[in-house]
Amino acid sequence: MTSYALFLGCLIPAHQPNYELSARKSLAKLGIELVDLANMTCCAPPPVQSIDLETSLAIAAYNICLAEEADLDLIILCSGCFESLSMANAMLKADEQLKAKVNKILSKVGKEFLGNKDVKHYLQVLIDDVGLKRLKQSVSKPLTNLKVAAFYGCHALRPSELLKLDDPERPKVLETLIETVGAKSVEYLNKLKCCGGLLKGYSDDLALSLAREKIANITRAGADCVATLCPFCYTALDVGQVLLKGKFNEIYDMPVLHYSELLAFALGIAPKELAITPATHKIKVDKVVSKIS
Amino acid sequence: MIQGEEEKTASLEFSEIVTSRLGGETIRRCYQCGTCASSCPVAKITERFNPREIIKLSLLGKKDEVLSGEAIWLCCSCYNCQERCPQKVEIADLIYALRNIAFEEGYIPNIYSDFASALLDDGRIVKISRFYEDKRPALGLPPLQPTGVDALRKILSATGFDRLQQKEKSQ
C-alpha cells in the first residue's frame, strides 16, 4: 500500500463532498492510502498570492513541512492547491536564498522547510503509482459509449516549468485516463482555455463570458459530459450553466463531473454512495449515470 | 528638470521597484511583441485588459495609472502568456507583484479584503459550513482535522500581512 498525506484544501470540504468521496473511495480501491494530517491551512492560492507572494510561499511551505514531518509525500485533488504547493515546493527546492528567507519566517512557528518531499496531483499518482495497466484491470464497469470532454483548467498544467504535470500546450494525461476507464475522449475548440473562475467576485460578467464559451464549445462537440479536475472549474461550469440560463436564457444541460466521479463509476462504486445530489450537481447527471449502468 | 528626464527617472524608479519584488524580476526583458495579449483569454473578450499594455505602462513609470486602475485585477491567472513569452517574462507572476504593490499602497478591491479577513479569521479563504461538516459522518467521510489557524496567524504577522489588512481596515 502506498501512503500519501492528503491536502484537502477548502473548496472541496466546503462544497463538493462528491469530489472528496469519489476520490477517497477510488484511491482506496486502487491501494492508495490517504492520511489526513492535523493543522493544515489554506494553501495560499492566487487570491492570497495577489495580496502578498512572500506570505503565500511561506504558507504553502508551512503545509509542506507538515508532510515532511509525517515523512509522507503530498497528494492533492484541487488544482488551485496543487499549483500553490507544487510551485512553492519547486521554487524553494531550487533557490537556497529564497528557502532561507522563507525558513526565517517559518522559524516563528517552529518549522523548517527541508525540501525532501514531492507534491503530487492525484492524476500523477494514478499514472505513477497505480499505472495505466493496473488501472485498466481494476475497471469493472467500463464507461463504454460515454463521450467525455477533458477539462484541464489552468493550474494543473501551468506554470509548466514548475508543475511538470504534462505538456502545457498539448497535454494528454487526462484524455489517456478517460480512455483507460473505457470512455471516449472528445476534442473541442479551445480546450485549454481558462474557465474564468478566478475573476469571480471581481468581474462576474467576464468570468461568466469565459465559462460560456467553454460550455458552448463542449456542447457543440457532442460530449455527453465534462470531466473536470478542479473544484473552481467545476463550479464555473456547473453553476455557470444555471447563471447562463438566468441571464441569457441559454440552456445547455451539459453534465459536469469530476474525473474522480467517472473513475469511481468505472471501478464499480455505486453512484448512490457518492453524494450525487441537486446540491452537488446543479446540472443533473442522470443521463450519464443511466448510460453506464 | 526637463519633462523628458523626469519621465525617464520615474520609469526607472518604478520598473526598479517591480524588478526588486518577488515575481517582478523579469519585467525589463519585455520587448512589447504582444504574444501575451494574443494568448490572453481575457484580452480576447474585453479591451479593459491587455497584459502588454500593463507592462508598457509599468516600464514607462506610470505607477499610479497601473496601481489604481482595474486592469491588474482582471488577469485570470491562466499563465498562457507566461508559457508563450519568447523573452521569458514571467507575466502572470509580475501581475501578482503589481497587485502586491497596489495592496501595500492601499488600492484594495473589496473581494480581496474579504479574502484577507477570512484568512486571518479562519485560516482559509473559503469557510467550511457547519452544515457540511456535520454531514460528513453520514456521508462516510472522516472528520475534518483542525486547521492550523494559530500557526497561520503567526506567519501572517511575521510577514506583515496582518498589517496590510489593518491598513485596509483603517481606510
Structural domain contains residue A192: yes
**CB contact at 8 A, A165 and A44:** no
Smallest CA–CA distance, residue B165 to chain A, in Å, is 10
8-state DSSP, A73 = -
* C-alpha–C-alpha distance, residues A207 and A65, integer Å: 34
d(CA B148, CA B145): 9
> SS3 sequence, B112-165?
HHHHHHHHHHHCCCCCCCHHHHHHHHHHCCCCCCCECHHHHHHHHHHHCHHHHH
| Mean pLDDT computed over every residue of chain A | 97
pLDDT tens digit string along A5-33? 999 999 999 999 999 999 999 999 999 99
Residue A89, domain CATH: 1.20.1050.140
A46 assigned to some structural domain: yes
B59 interfaces chain A, CB cutoff of 8 Å: no
Q: Which of residues B10 and B135 earns the better pLDDT score?
A: B135
**Is B138 within 8 Å of chain A by CB?**
no
Task: Look up the pTM and report it.
Answer: 0.96
Rounded to the nearest 5 degrees, what angle is found at the Cα of B104, between the Cα atoms of B99 and B110? Answer: 65
Residues A174 and A214 in one domain: yes
| CB atoms B22 and A41 under 8 Å | no
Residues A273 and A143 in one domain: yes
In this structure, are A161 and A44 located in the same domain? no
Same-domain check for residues A209 and A283: yes
Per-residue CA distances from B75 to A51, B14, B66, B88 (Å) = 14, 20, 13, 18
Specify whether the CB–CB gap between A129 and A154 falls below 8 A. Answer: no
Residue A146 and residue A110 share a domain: no
Listed residues A88, A122, A156: the one ending a domain: A122
Convert the pLDDT of each residue in A111-127 to its tens digit: 999 999 999 999 999 99
B61 conformational bin, left if phi > 0, alpha if psi -120 to 50, beta if neither: left
Cell readout for B148 is 492550523
* Residue A127 covered by a domain: no
- Residues B98-128: tens digit of each pLDDT: 999 999 999 999 999 999 999 999 999 998 8
Same structural domain for residues A118 and A211?
no
Which residue in A177, A275, A267 sits closest to A228, CA to CA?
A177
- In a domain? residue A91: yes
Under 8 Å CB pairs connecting chains A and B tally to 180
Q: Does A266 touch chain B (CB under 8 A)?
A: no
Residues A38-49: tens digit of each pLDDT: 999 999 999 999
Supply the pLDDT for residue B3: 63
Q: In the listed set A91, A122, A153, which residue is the last one of a domain according to the structure? A: A122
**Whose CA is closest to B82, among A242, A244, A169, A96?**
A169
Q: At which of A66, A93, A122 does a domain end?
A: A122
**A178 and A45 fall within a common domain:** no
Residues A155 and A107 in one domain: no
Q: Model confidence at B167, in pLDDT bands (50, 70, 90)?
A: low
Which pairing describes strands A256-258 and A225-228: parallel, antiparallel, or unpaired?
parallel
CB atoms within 10 A of CB B84: 15
Residues of A with Cβ-Cβ distance to B144 under 8 angstroms: 8, 13
Q: Give residue A255's Cα distance to chain centre.
A: 17
Interchain CB contact of B45 with A (< 8 Å): yes
A40-83 residue pLDDT tens: 999 999 999 999 999 999 999 999 999 999 999 999 999 999 99
Q: What is the CATH number of the domain that holds A148?
A: 3.40.50.11810
Please report the domains of chain B, with CATH numbers, ordered by start residue: 3-104 (1.10.1060.10), 110-169 (no CATH)
- Cα–Cα distance between A184 and A148 in angstroms, integer? 6
**A129 assigned to some structural domain:** no
Closest residue of chain A to B119, computed from CA coordinates = A42
Measured CA to CA, the distance from residue A229 to residue A282 in angstroms comes to 17
- A193 and A169 part of one domain: yes
Q: Within its chain, how far is the Cα of B8 from the centroid?
A: 26
Residues B35-56, mean pLDDT to the nearest whole number: 98
pLDDT at B170: 47
Q: Are A199 and A96 contained in the same domain?
A: no
Rounded mean pLDDT, A233-250:
98
B99 close to A (CB below 8 A)? yes
Contact A36 B145 (CB under 8 A): yes
Domains identified in chain A, total number: 2
Give the residue numbers spanning the domain of A184. 138-292
Question: Which chain B residue has the Cα nearest residue A87?
Answer: B93
Distant-in-sequence, close-in-space partners of B10: CB < 8 Å, separation ≥ 6: B61, B63
Q: Does B130 touch chain A (CB under 8 A)?
A: no
B168 confidence band (pLDDT: 50, 70, 90): low
- Give the gap in angstroms from C-alpha B145 to the nearest C-alpha of chain A: 5
CB A242 within 8 A of CB A281: no
Is A176 part of a structural domain of the chain? yes
| A36: β partners | A6
B96–chain A Cβ distance below 8 A for any pair: yes
**Looking at the structure, do residues A113 and A66 belong to the same domain, yes or no?**
yes
Strand, coil or helix: what is A251? coil
A51 to B161: CB separation less than 8 angstroms, yes or no: yes
One domain for residues A180 and A286: yes
- Measured in angstroms, the CA of A45 and the nearest CA of chain B are apart by 9
Q: Which member of A20, A106, A154 has the closest CB to residue B141? A: A20
Which of A51, A107, A195 is the mutation pick for testing B, counting most B CBs within 10 A?
Answer: A51
List the single residue in B with minimal CA-CA distance to A79. Answer: B78
Closest residue by Cα to residue B51 from B38, B61, B64: B38
**Cβ of B144 under 8 Å from any chain A Cβ?**
yes
Q: Is residue A130 situated within a structural domain?
A: no
Which amino acid is it at B98?
L
Res B1 pLDDT > 60: no
A159 assigned to some structural domain: yes
Give the C-alpha separation, B73 to B26, whole Å: 20
Cell numbers of B81, please? 502568456
For the stretch A162-209, pLDDT in tens is 999 999 999 999 999 999 999 999 999 999 999 999 999 999 999 999
Query: What whole-number percentage of chain B has pLDDT above 70?
Result: 91
